[in-house]
Amino acid sequence: MEPAIFSERADQIHRVGEQPFRMACNRESLAGAVSQRACVFCGSRVVLYPIADALHLVHGPIGCAAYTWDIRGALSSGPELHRLSFSTDLQETDVIFGGEKKLYRALVELIDRHHPEAAFVYSTCIVGIIGDDLEGICKKVSREKGLPVIPVQSEGFKGNKRAGYHAACQAIFRLVGTGSTEGISPHSLNILGDFNLAGEIWIIRDYFKRMGLEVVANITGDGRVGDLQRAHGAALNVVQCSGATMDLAKMMQQKYGIPFIRVSYFGVEDMAESLYNVARFFKEPGIMTRTREVVREELISLYPQLQKYRKALSGKKAAIYVGGAFKAFSLVKAFRLLGMQVVLVGSQTGTEEDYRELEEITDDGTIIVDDSNPLELTSFLKEKKVDIFVGGVKERPIAYKLGVGFCDHNHERKEPLEGFIGMLYFAREVYNTVMSPVWRFLPRRSASH
Amino acid sequence: MNPARKTSLKLARPKSAPYVSTTNACKLCTPLGACLAFRGVENTVPFLHGSQGCATYMRRYIISHFREPVDIASSSLGEKHAIYGGSQNLKQGLQNVMSKYGPQLIGVATTCLTETIGDNVPMFVKEFQEEHGGNGHEAAMPLIVTVSSPSYHGTHMEGFHQAVRALIDRLAEPAERTASVNLLPGFGSPADIRHIKEIMTDFGLTAIILPDISETLDGPILATYARIPAGGTPLADIKIMSGSQATLEFGATLKNQDTAGKLLETRGGGTLYQVGQPIGLRETDFYFGLLEVLAGRPTPIKHVLERGRLLDALVDGHKYVFGKRAVVYGEEDLVVGLTAFLAEIGIHPVLCASGGDSGYLKEAITAVTADLLPNPPQIRGGVDFYDIAQEAGSLAPDLIVGHSKGYHLARRWKIPLIRVGFPIHDRFGGHRILHLGYRGAQQLLDRIINAILAKKQEDSPVGYGYL
């Protein structure tokens, strides 16, 4: 059997300390390599989906809508329209004669039925090929029904998830600036790149509230169309999942002069630093004082609880393979806080800059990988004798079949991992996995003893 | 907030309105079914010719149910391929799968993208084989089976059946007559296929089961990681299927389809018996009756006893279930079998629904239930969960029988959901659910009665601990 690494992909894998840093990335996935990546449609769906009072209509055959039906844990405090899966369910005749009429009728039918605040229409691969005039139909329905109907140019083949993020940001940007900014506090911000998985955005909003800041729009977790329309009234954009929403932050900076800062809510260090950075921006002593108070209160309750986990987990080895690279930075630090060593870290869509930063914060011998696949991941996990692997649902069986622990840190998780409390949940999950007795019964372990 | 929204969910779709949109589909796309079928063949890698996203989405969907690694390769087409054609990427992908996985067979399924841009996949594959198969490398070349599975035509079940047909079309050779029996089981669970194999063995029959996902989608943990999981129908067995004495094809709604069974019959594969999935007592009786004829011996005592215990349980449990009203949905053939079973135990299926639309659902259900049901159920093909909710809202069901995606209805109506079929995304062990045979009927019965008892306890103001 051939080694796990494809020769074409050799330059997308780096071993820290063993060679000078160089990393190819942002390439099309290698055909036949079983990439863990999805597509443009997936990228835009991930970002826009949590807008809970909008209609999300997938224009295409049934699969694209079926596979994205309510699979993510993006919670809403009110309407839940986002949890339904709408599709034009294109059939052979639509492909031949065009799907515009069907799209029009579907939009009218669904808007009349659900009365959304806005509608997003996602184009899929096939729509790009048959050339339906999405823009034209959306404009027509928007005029007739009196609500924003926004095309999302997300044909799956037009790049990877990253291109989908961009399409989503452009779609959101069409809403921004169309509402009134009256009454918005000068001490206000938008939360970008948080999708309210397991209610995480509520944890973060609570911190900002305690700091004395007003959150104008959640973008997009627990999102509302009306908030997005007035988001240009905020004083600051706070960007977490930067891969997904940095484009929007940049567009808003350019058009409305709103500055942005990059943050991360994962792990104690990054969470605290993020709040301080936001406080520093407002240059108001009261805010900084309150921020210190928030961090202090949270840490006082958190640290003693973390100690138990740290004691048990010290010296264990972790591997990380996630969608966006920015999250990986925080995870490396979070594992360090638990006394654990990260021996593999990778992402589906990282940039060279991201990987360079990962190289700087990881230990010698750590493998850094871009757009990996099951064969590589299994070979790395085996080589590094990993105790726990952090990834998403597609990575889980790869770990389990190897007899390696696993922690879901993706859109489908049901445990909040953001915020100070999130670090505790994370530590608990890592502990519960690593310390499980089941691993000692597995053939791989017995064979190696 | 729009004041109309609160009531909007109750607005009924006018019966005469043209069908224009789908809300919460009760079906999956064609290539997914093809991948599942290919996955049941020994040493095979499924390959999707299309965008990367298709393979990844389907993998994650399948993985969530089976909890197994499911590698589906992709030609990962980009924008330029959509314009100039995907031939080059397909060939590169095949080459990469060959070198890293070393499969004996690659099952290539098309997607809506590659069907629409008009890629001639069989021709590309032929070119690939000519380019790479020469110079003494023929032995290393895997077989490549292609199936046309545009996702805008049919459901995952059409994709599944078409892939099985393509496998036979490509592999089955004229063969000497043998005593073996071909079994085309359709899409059951790994537990179903294991049970079917056990029954065949107990009858002393040599069976060729295609596809066989009993191990490939429910494998053991091993000391070393297998790039392709062991198990699946051996290629050598598929080659000699046309020599078998008979072919059993499960599928009560396959009548007008150009199925693998029909193809085998034209290739000399013995008599074709197209039968419903053996779910419930009578369909299983019919199946065992067939096996008695094919094996030339009576049903082994082990299964006679299982049948006897099932009858015993039907009697013990009849009061708990009689008159209960059920909504059943899922793949058409599964719905036919489940409906037959429910009718047998005295449950009234009030709505039998499927996202599939073969046109034979009604006929098939009527055939298995006509003498059992005083009032025929509503039967609807080509529906989504919006339609199911609309229909069933006034039918006051007591329970729902179907896959996980009906959970929101069960929650809304506060009635139990008996999880069967695929996908089971909100329970553990979905791939180990047994639906077939006397044993499967027994397990379904136990689960249904226990769900009804649990509901009775929950609803009761008295804490009955003795029911």
CB atoms within 10 A of CB B400: 23
The whole-number pLDDT of residue B387 equals: 95
How are strands ordered across the β-sheet holding B73-74?
B73-74, B44-49, B105-110, B143-147
- The answer to whether the beta carbons of residues B95 and B132 sit under 8 Å apart is yes
Spell out which residues of chain A touch residue B69, defining contact as CB-CB under 8 Å.
374, 397-398, 401
pLDDT of res. B379: 97
Please judge whether B27 and A40 are an interchain contact, meaning their C-beta atoms are less than 8 angstroms apart. no
Closest-CA distance, A103 to chain B, in angstroms, reads 8
Question: Are A129 and B82 inside 8 Å of each other by CB?
Answer: yes
Best B23, B72, B357 member to test A by mutation, with max A CBs in 10 Å, is B23
Do A107 and A169 lie in one domain? The reply is yes
Residue A293: CB atoms within 10 Å:
12
Contact A61 B151 (CB under 8 A): yes
B278 and B315 belong to one structural domain: no
Cite the beta strand spans of A143-187 per DSSP E.
149-152
Cα dihedral A74→A244→A265→A68 (10° resolution): 20
**Which residue did the predictor score with more confidence, B464 or A141?**
A141
What global pTM score does this model have? Answer: 0.95
Task: Note whether residue A422 is domain-resident.
Answer: no
Q: Within this chain, do residues B290 and B305 fall inside the same structural domain, yes or no?
A: no
Residues A44 and A18 in one domain: no
Same domain, A277 and A402: no
CA angle A196, A202, A204 (to 5 degrees): 95
> Looking at the domain assignment, is residue B176 inside a domain?
no
Q: Does residue B223 sit within a domain?
A: no
CB-based contact (8 Å) between B61 and chain A?
yes
How does pLDDT run across A13-45, given as a tens digit for each residue? 999 999 899 999 988 899 999 999 999 999 999
Q: How far apart are CA A414 and CA B182, in angstroms?
A: 45
Q: Report the percent of chain A where pLDDT is more than 90.
A: 92
In chain A, how many domains are there?
Answer: 3
Lowest-confidence region among A318-322, A413-417, B94-98, B210-214? A413-417
Residues A163 and A282 grouped into a single domain = no
Question: Which is nearest to B100 in space by CA: A80, A226, A2?
Answer: A2
- Cα Dmax for chain A: 72
Chunked into runs of 10 residues, chain B (467 residues) has average pLDDT values of 37 54 97 98 98 96 97 96 94 96 97 96 96 69 96 96 98 94 98 98 98 98 93 97 96 91 92 97 98 98 98 98 98 98 98 96 96 94 96 93 97 97 97 98 98 96 91
Same domain, A198 and A238: yes
C-alpha span between B49 and B396 (Å, rounded): 45
Residue of B nearest to A371 (CA): B52
Residue among A348, A159, A165 at smallest CA distance from A247: A165
Q: Which residues does B465 contact at the CB level (< 8 Å), separation at least 6? A: none
The beta-carbon neighbor of B117 closest among A30, A36, A129 is A129
Compare CB distances from A157 to B1, B55, B78 and report the shortest one's residue: B78
Q: How many CA atoms lie within 13 A of B293 on its CB side?
A: 11
* One domain, residues A252 and A273: yes
Q: Of chain B residues 149-188, which have a CB less than 8 A from chain A?
A: 150-153, 155
Domain finish residue from B244, B268, B295: B295
The two beta strands, A86-87 and B22-23, are antiparallel
Do B355 and B365 contact (CB within 8 A), yes or no?
no
For residue A425, being part of any structural domain is answered with no
Residue of chain B whose Cα is closest to the Cα of A110: B21
pLDDT in tens, A145-199: 999 999 999 999 998 888 999 999 999 999 999 999 999 999 999 999 999 999 9
Do residues B243 and B348 share a domain?
A: no
Task: Report if residue A360 sits inside a domain.
Answer: yes
The arrangement of strands across the sheet holding A214-220 comes to: A214-220, A188-194, A236-239, A260-262
Q: Are B193 and B213 in contact (CB under 8 A)?
A: yes
CA A177 to chain centre: 25
Look at the alpha carbons of B156, B159, B161, B163 in this order and tell me if their dihedral is positive or negative: negative
Is there a domain that residue B115 lies in? yes
Measured between beta carbons, the chain B residues lying within 8 angstroms of A164 are: none
**A242 and A208 assigned to the same domain:** yes
Overall average pLDDT of the A313-323 stretch: 96
Q: Which of A141, A173, A205 is the last residue of a domain?
A: A173
Q: Please indicate, yes or no, if residue B444 is contained in any of the structural domains.
A: yes
- DSSP assignment letter at B42: T
How many A/B residue pairs have CB atoms within 8 Å?
A: 247
Q: Are residues A283 and A231 in the same domain?
A: yes
Q: Mark whether B263 and B350 lie in a shared domain.
A: no
Q: Is the domain of B150 the same as that of B185? A: no
The residue of B22, B66, B425 whose CB has the most chain A CBs within 10 angstroms, and thus the best one to mutate to test that interface, is B22
Would you call B96 and A1 a contact, using CB atoms and an 8 Å cutoff? no
Reply yes or no: is the peptide bond before residue B7 cis, omega within 30 of 0: no
CATH number of the domain encompassing residue B345: 3.40.50.1980
Rounded Cα gap, residues A358 and A366, in angstroms? 10
What's the CA angle centered on B375, arms B372 and B379, to 5 degrees? 95
pLDDT reported for residue B9: 38
Inside any domain, residue B19: no
> Around Cβ B467, how many Cβ atoms within 10 Å?
12
Task: Give the list of residues 6+ apart from residue A347 with CB closer than 8 angstroms, or none.
Answer: A321, A322, A323, A324, A325, A327, A328, A354, A370
Q: Give pLDDT, residue A26.
A: 87
Read off the DSSP letter of residue A83.
Answer: G
Query: Which of A29, A100, A157 should we substitute to test contact with B (largest number of B Cβ atoms within 10 Å)?
Result: A157
Residues B270 and B340 in one domain: no
A191/chain B closest Cα distance in angstroms:
21
Residue A71 has pLDDT above 50, yes or no: yes
For residue A265, the domain's CATH number is 3.40.50.1980
For residue range B198-242, what is the model confidence (pLDDT) as tens digits? Answer: 999 999 999 999 999 999 999 999 988 999 999 999 999 999 999
Beta bridge partners of A87: A58, B22
Same domain for A146 and A64: yes
- B264 and B372 part of one domain: no
Assess whether B284 and B363 both reside in one domain.
no
Question: B interface mutation test: which of A56, A67, A348, A373 has the most B CBs within 10 A?
Answer: A67
- Nearest residue on chain A to B405, judged by CA atoms? A69
Identify whether the C-beta of residue B71 lies closer than 8 Å to the C-beta of residue B45: yes
Helix (H) or strand (E) holding B162: helix B156-171
Q: What is the dihedral of CA A185, A191, A197, A203, to 10 degrees?
A: -50
Pair (A196, A284) in one structural domain: yes
Number of domains making up chain B? 3
Residues pairing with B109 in the sheet? B48, B147
Residue B67 in contact with partner chain A when CB distance is under 8 A? yes
The answer to whether residue A151 sits within a structural domain is yes
Q: Which of B171, B194, B209 is the last residue in one of the domains? A: B171
Our CA dihedral for A160, A163, A168, A174, rounded to 10 degrees, sits at -160
Same-domain check for residues A54 and A159:
yes
Query: If 0-12 CB within 10 Å is exposed, 13-18 middle and 19+ buried, where does residue B277 land?
Result: buried
Give the distance from residue A362's alpha carbon to the nearest chain B alpha carbon, in angstroms.
28
A42, A62, A396 member nearest B25 (Cβ):
A62
Asked if residue A126 lies in contact with residue A64, where contact means CB atoms within 8 angstroms, the answer is no
Domain co-membership, B291 together with B310:
no
The owner of tokens 């494809």 is: A6
Q: Which residues of A touch B124 (CB under 8 A)?
A: none
Q: Is B114 on the interface with A (CB under 8 A)?
A: no
Q: What is the pLDDT of residue A229?
A: 98
Q: How many CA atoms lie within 13 A of B289 on its CB side?
A: 9
Mean pLDDT of all residues belonging to chain A: 95
Domain boundary among B239, B271, B295: B295
Cβ A171 vs Cβ A150: under 8 Å: yes
Q: What is the ipTM of this complex?
A: 0.95
Closest-CA distance of chain A to residue B458, Å:
26
Task: Give yes or no for a contact between A269 and A337, defined as CB atoms under 8 angstroms apart.
Answer: yes
Q: Is the bond leading into B423 cis (omega within 30 degrees of zero)?
A: yes
Interface test with B, best of A46, A58, A77, A89 (most B CBs within 10 A): A89
Segments forming the whole domain that contains residue B142: 30-171
Measure the CA angle with vertex B354, ends B187 and A129; round to 5°.
Answer: 85
One domain, residues A46 and A146: yes
Contact present, A103 and A137 (Cβ < 8 Å): yes
**Residue type (1 letter), A144:** E
What does the radius of gyration of chain B's CA atoms come to, in whole angstroms?
23
Are B259 and B285 in the same domain?
Answer: yes
Q: What is the amino acid identity at position B396?
A: A
Give the span between the Cα atoms of B221 and B94, in whole angstroms. 28
> B23: nearest CA in chain A?
A86
Kindly state whether B444 is in contact with chain A, defined as any CB-CB distance less than 8 angstroms.
Answer: no
- Whether B324 and B440 map to the same domain: the answer is yes
Is any Cβ of chain A less than 8 angstroms from the Cβ of B390? no
Rounded to whole angstroms, the Cα distance separating B121 from B130 reads 14
Angstrom CA distances, A245 to A75, A122, A197, B257, stand at 19, 18, 16, 48
- pLDDT band at A312, cuts 50/70/90? very high
B113 and B201 co-located in one domain: no
Note whether B21 contacts A30, CB cutoff 8 Å.
Answer: no
Q: Which residues of B touch A66 (CB under 8 A)?
A: 25, 27-29
Q: Which tokens sit at B293? A: 């004829």
Helix (H) or strand (E) holding A57: strand A54-59
Report CB contact under 8 Å: B63, A393. yes
Give a yes or no: residue B158 inside a domain. Answer: yes
Segment A127-147 mean pLDDT: 97
Q: A301 lies in a domain? A: no
- Helix/strand/coil for B111: coil
Residues 6+ apart with CB under 8 A from B411: none
In a domain, A426, yes or no: no
Q: Residue B379: beta bridge partners?
A: B352
Cβ <8 Å between A34 and B73: yes
**Full residue range of the structural domain in which residue A192 is found:** 188-296
How many alpha carbons fall within 13 Å on the CB side of residue A430? Answer: 36
The pLDDT of residue A161 is 87
